[in-house]
Amino acid sequence: MRTPLPIILPVDMHQVKGFLADDEAAALYQAALVASKKAPIMEIGSYCGKSTIYLGSACKASGGVLYALDHHRGSEEHQLGEEYHDPDLFDGSAGLVDTFKEFRRNMREAQLEENVIPIVASSGLASRGWSTPLSMVFIDGGHSMEAAMTDYQSWAGHIIQGGTLAIHDLFPNPSEGGQAPITIYRLAIASGLFEEIDVINTLGLLRRL
């Protein structure tokens, strides 16, 4: 059984909104600590910044940089009337979910404003003309098949040889969760460009060949 490594952070992570298990967080941190020494890291789907804090703290420790990409309008399940809707993150004046204010506050409290570069845009839009090689891509954005495929097709090709592709919310059993993340995970392996490193809880780690 895996025991998460202790990670000392300047914020109480139990108070940060998000959906990341402790063992997944520890695995992300360790992967980012190694990868960020080679090139920047890209996170797709920041929400309020829980995973961003782990990835960003690893970048801070190694002197690296994290791009945190999110349109900050919430995924399908965060919308009004849906299962994971949070009224505290709903902008009534605009009639839209808005997680960016919460995200910025969390980055400030985690002392990561000099290591995390927010990109407020859709994944497809941000990828247009992107040319910076990436040492690691963490996909945890929208869980519809269209959104997951866009994330994979837009960003996996920018990962350097030996770099890491991490995908969250892998559920082999459809009764346990949506199938889009595990579909792109299997596509990455089937492409012959990636090999499996490990699966921790619902987090899959792949290496670019």
**Cβ atoms 200, 168 nearer than 8 A:** no
Marked catalytic residue, from 71, 72, 143, 168: 143
Give the integer Cα–Cα distance in Å for 104 and 113. 8
Work out the angle at residue 29's Cα, subtended by the Cα atoms of residues 124 and 130, and round it to the nearest 5 degrees. Answer: 25
Distances in Å between the Cα of 185 and the Cα atoms of 14, 22, 93, 106, 142 are 28, 21, 38, 29, 15
Q: Any catalytic annotation for residue 143?
A: yes
Identify the CA nearest to 102 among candidates 68, 126, 65, 76: 68
Residues taking part in catalysis: 143
